Amino acid sequence: MKEIFKPTKIKRTLFFLTSDIILFLLSFYLSFLLRFNFTIPDSYIKIFSYWAPSIVFLKILTFWVLGIYKVNWRFIGLNEFIKIATGLGIDTIILFFLILLSRNKIPYFFPPLSIILIDFFISLSLISLVRIAKRIYLEIIKKKESLKRTVIIGAGNTGERIVRELKRNGKFNPVFFVDDDPNKIGTCIHNVPVLGKIKDLPKLLKDNHVEMAIIAIPSLSHKKIREIFNLLVNTGIKDIKIVPSISKLPSQVSNIKDIKDISIEDLLYRDPVNINYEDIQNFLQNKKILVTGAGGSIGSEIVRQLINFQPRELIALEIDETELHNLSLELADKIKKKGITFKPIVADIRDSGKIRKIFSEEKPEIIFHAAAYKHVPLMEYFPEEAIKTNIIGTYIVANAALKSGVEKFINISTDKAVNPTSIMGATKRLAEIICRSLNELGKTKFISVRFGNVLGSRGSVIPIFLEQIKKGGPVTVTHPEMKRYFMTIPEAVLLVFQAAAMGKGGEVFVLDMGEPIKIVNLAEDLIRLQGLEPYKDIDIIFTGLRPGEKLFEELLTAEEGTDQTYHEKIYIARIKTLYSPDKIKQIIQELQEALKDIDRNKLIFILKKYVPFYNRDNK
């Protein structure tokens, strides 16, 4: 009982007490009107006047006893409706029996039984309506006002599924569609109108106070997505989402999570990559595959995508036990579902004894060698570490693969291996040369795949920029003319698989990375994607080239040239530099000798001696 007398509950109780008294009186009066066709005889007006206070008191008392005035009517449901009906039903039964037992003695003192019955239904309707009115207001009228007003770009099948899901989700208010098909303009999809074309967005957005936009055309090119993005951003829309590309779109958009925030990958000017999945499937299916550097950004994506091609066994080799543990947890359900044997191994590729033992025991058939140091400026200060991992580590793994009879060894290389100006680039170039040389010694086919920056990888500028934006800026770009090739990690990995499947041994494959992108433009786009304005909300400053960096990364040296393969995005570099296996052994010995004393000058001298076009001053 004490709960009722809290201040907020006192107000609520007084409100409903007052409203109930009025509604019970109104209901009783309406019952007389309906019973006598809206003309109440004078004798029954007296009966109404006599009985009205008693009936109102009886109903109020019943409601109080049943605890109806304790209910929070914001959450009224079927149980509360039943409680109201029960209370009014009890009152009606009491009045019925009272009238039946007493009206013969005083016939003109009691109202007709029909009035009591009519009063029950009118009271139930009025009382329930008042109670449910608050919920209707909060959950339908007010909630709709608070829902995120959304425009859907694309009124096709995907747009239809999106609007259906948005309405079911209950957090969004789809306001209108736009679509470039003139036949759709003026129509409605699930009561949401198609108001115009994409070019009409600025005016339509302004007139309809939209807060969020969903791009629901999975077949759009990156160029068109960028155009729409610019239209939306320039009109002040900061919350922009997009459906997955047509190759990744689920057959049914069954959950709002299928729609993702627009990302930098969606804005890149890149043509879609065609992959021959059958060739890759034939190459990888039912094979025992080992991936080095399996915890890294490239290595982990290789592992993820290998699962889709149904290998017999996957061995994930990684020195970082935390990343390897996280990868194992992430993939556990998928691996179990696919029936693939998964074996994580903590090991250092520079440990020749352990690597030989692993290869001898496991006998993998295919190797994807992704383990490497890749942070360019850091390796300038620690060239001995880059040499130990990128050169000697590669040599150890490649030799172990050769001796254990591995079918194919795929070395993941980089565009920084071309005309290298950095330690990292020079070591990766020598790793390519090692693989080509060892290709002559046995049945193992060694190939290298060279590509540029992948979005989101360790060492990529994007995570760095995002962290700087998160802190409020400034975003630091080394040079206003700095350009890089970019590719998404999944796209790069699929092309690696494609190149690996077609490789005959000894090739250095070069992936077509599309057009190079200015880093400053990339920074500006990332700032806009966070709903901010470059140079106003977040500043961009230029810091100068870092050690080992150059303005532009080439995929081919001038003397190399390429040969076209049957895949439009994959080329073969015409590599002229080739050392014999004995020469490679000599180079490794020289490097190991210099590593004993960590003689950095000597290490760099050896790299310059054996790595074509390595010039630390060529930026």
Distance, C-alpha 381 to centroid of its chain: 36
For the domain that residue 232 is a member of, what is the CATH number?
3.40.50.720
- pLDDT confidence band for 132 (50 / 70 / 90): confident
More confident residue, 580 or 136: 580
478 is a domain residue:
no
Q: What per-residue confidence (pLDDT) applies to 141? A: 54
The range of the structural domain enclosing residue 224 comes to 147-262
In a domain, 618, yes or no: no
Q: Are residues 308 and 360 in the same domain?
A: yes
Local structure of residue 245 (DSSP, 8 states) = P
From the candidates 416, 428, 483, 550, give the one annotated as an active-site residue.
416
**Is the same domain home to 332 and 415?**
yes
More confident residue, 174 or 513: 174
Residues 46 and 108 in one domain: yes
Alpha helices in 339-422 (DSSP H): 352-362, 376-381, 383-386, 394-403
Kindly report whether the peptide bond that precedes residue 474 is cis, defined as omega within 30 degrees of 0: yes
State whether residue 348 is helix, strand or coil: coil
pLDDT at 62: 86
CB 584 within 8 A of CB 595: no
Task: Based on the fold, state whether residues 287 and 400 are members of the same structural domain.
Answer: yes
Helix, strand, coil tally for the chain in percent (to 5):
50, 15, 35
Q: Are 204 and 295 contained in the same domain? A: no
Nearest-angstrom CA–CA distance, 106 and 498: 100
- pLDDT greater than 80 at residue 217: yes
Domain boundary among 144, 167, 187: 144
Quick check: 160 pLDDT over 60?
Answer: yes
Q: Report percent pLDDT > 90 for the chain.
A: 26
The pLDDT-based confidence of 254 (bands split at 50, 70, 90) is very low
Domain co-membership, 219 together with 365: no
Torsion (CA) 237, 239, 240, 241 in degrees, nearest 10: -160
- Check residues 555 and 513 and name the one with the higher pLDDT: 513
Residues 355 and 411 in one domain: yes
pLDDT digits (tens, 9 = 90+) for 280-316: 999 999 999 999 999 988 899 999 999 999 999 999 9
* pLDDT attached to residue 250: 42
Q: Which of 179-193, 377-391, 467-481, 534-548 has the lowest mean pLDDT?
A: 534-548
Assign 249 a pLDDT band (cuts: 50, 70, 90): very low
* Least confident segment among 40-44, 311-315, 481-485, 506-510: 481-485
Residue 267 lies in a domain: no
**Residue 140, pLDDT score:** 56
Given a cut of 80, is residue 536 above it in pLDDT? yes
Strand pairing class (341-346; 366-369): unpaired
In this predicted structure, the answer to whether residue 564 has a pLDDT above a threshold of 50 is: yes
The rounded mean pLDDT for the chain is 81
Which of the 8 DSSP states describes residue 76? -
Per-residue burial over 272-285, b if 16 or more Cβ lie within 10 Å, else e, is ebebeeebbeebbe
- One-character DSSP codes across 285-327: TT-EEEEETTTSHHHHHHHHHHHTT--SEEEEEES-HHHHHHH
pLDDT digits (tens, 9 = 90+) for 72-90: 665 566 777 788 888 888 8
Residue 489 has pLDDT above 50, yes or no: yes
* Comparison of pLDDT for 531 and 154, the residue scoring more: 154
In a domain, 323, yes or no: yes
What is the pLDDT, as a whole number, of residue 470?
A: 80
- 205 and 349 share one domain: no
State mean pLDDT over 535-548.
Answer: 78
pLDDT, one tens digit per residue, over 347-383 is 999 999 999 999 999 999 999 999 999 888 889 899 9
List Cα–Cα distances, 273 to 48, 310, 440, 514, in angstroms: 84, 22, 32, 11
Mean pLDDT of 8-36: 81
* Residue range 447-473: mean pLDDT, rounded: 74
Q: Which helix (H) or strand (E) holds 490?
A: helix 489-502
Higher pLDDT, 543 or 587: 587
If asked whether residues 154 and 103 sit together in one domain, one would say no
β-strands 239-242, 260-261 pairing: antiparallel
**What does the pLDDT read at residue 251?**
43
Asked if the structure places residue 546 within a domain, the reply is no
Instruction: Return the pLDDT at 265.
Output: 67
Which of 211, 235, 262 is where one domain is finished? Answer: 262
The answer on 122 and 86 residing in a single domain is: yes
**Per-residue pLDDT averaged across 4-9, rounded?**
51
Q: φ and ψ at 175, to 5 degrees?
A: -95, -45
Residue 45: predicted pLDDT = 82
pLDDT at 577 over 60: yes
**Residue 408 resides in a domain:** yes
Report how far apart, in Å, the C-alpha atoms of 257 and of each of 245, 250, 263, 299 are: 14, 11, 15, 26
Q: Could you tell me if residue 525 is inside a domain?
A: no
- At residue 453, the pLDDT reads 66
Q: Tell me the C-alpha distance between 371 and 388, whole Å.
A: 12
Mean pLDDT of 39-67: 83
Number of domains comprising the chain: 3
Question: Catalytic site residue 416?
Answer: yes
Is 527 inside any structural domain? no
Last residue of a domain, one of 144, 163, 190: 144
In this structure, how many other beta carbons lie within 10 angstroms of the beta carbon of residue 4? 13
Which whole-number Å values give the CA distances from 499 to 61, 305, 496, in the listed order?
84, 15, 5
Give residue 408's pLDDT.
95
Same domain, 578 and 437: yes
- Range 424-447 average pLDDT: 92
Intra-chain end-to-end CA distance of the chain, in Å: 82
Domain match, 581 and 448 both: yes
